[in-house]
Structure 1
């Protein structure tokens, strides 16, 4: 007769082996990271953000899903291209902007801490 302790240990070993096998055998999803890309005048599918900070204007383009810090820059315009966007502002709010949207902030630009392409 097998003792209860041996049965429990045996069951635990089988469960651990099954979990280890599945971990190795099942591929994980593709890993993506947001990319800061060169703005190309012929492309309109990138996320494109016009911003300013400390008297300097900037235009930045991004591709691929992921998150990146935006340094608390003031955003003047966003063109989402083929990207759904969520930005986090200095007030702690998260704002979603759908793809193919072009929005300007002429009077009250948000101060953006981070951006995330969904």
Structure 2
């Protein structure tokens, strides 16, 4: 009975050691975080021209990830070197491929959030 307990204890110790070794040895994956960046001429950032309640805005974004856009109306989207999905306030999602410049003169989408792929 004591020998069996020692074997179980030894097995648990080896399993714990192996798990700890794998935890240290396996590299952590890349974290994705979209960034609101300064719009710089010549940069290939995602650039969104928008308006809400009489205010106009031009915003640029870099890096993969998803962020809130606050329900602003998009007048123009320039994707630069980014593939984009925007999510409108009605629950629809629209993908726009990189190197696309699209304007919405008559029926602009009201964007809830954006995602750079």
TM over 0.5: yes
Runs (5+) with no aligned partner, structure 1? none
Moved over 6 A (4+): none
Mark the CA change 1:107 to 1:12 in structure 2 (over 3 Å): closer, same or farther. Answer: farther
Give the drift of 1:62: 0.6
Please give the secondary structure, in 2, of the residue aligned with 1:21. helix
Q: Distance in 1 between matches of 2:8 and 2:86?
A: 50
**TM-score normalised per structure 2:** 0.87
Q: Which residue of 1 aligns with 2:34?
A: 34
Q: Distance in 1 between matches of 2:70 and 2:114?
A: 10
Q: Which residue of 1 aligns with 2:89?
A: 90
Q: Any residues of structure 2 matched to 1:44-59 within 5 Å, and which? A: 45-59=44-58
Give the drift of 1:31: 2.0
Runs (5+) with no aligned partner, structure 2? none
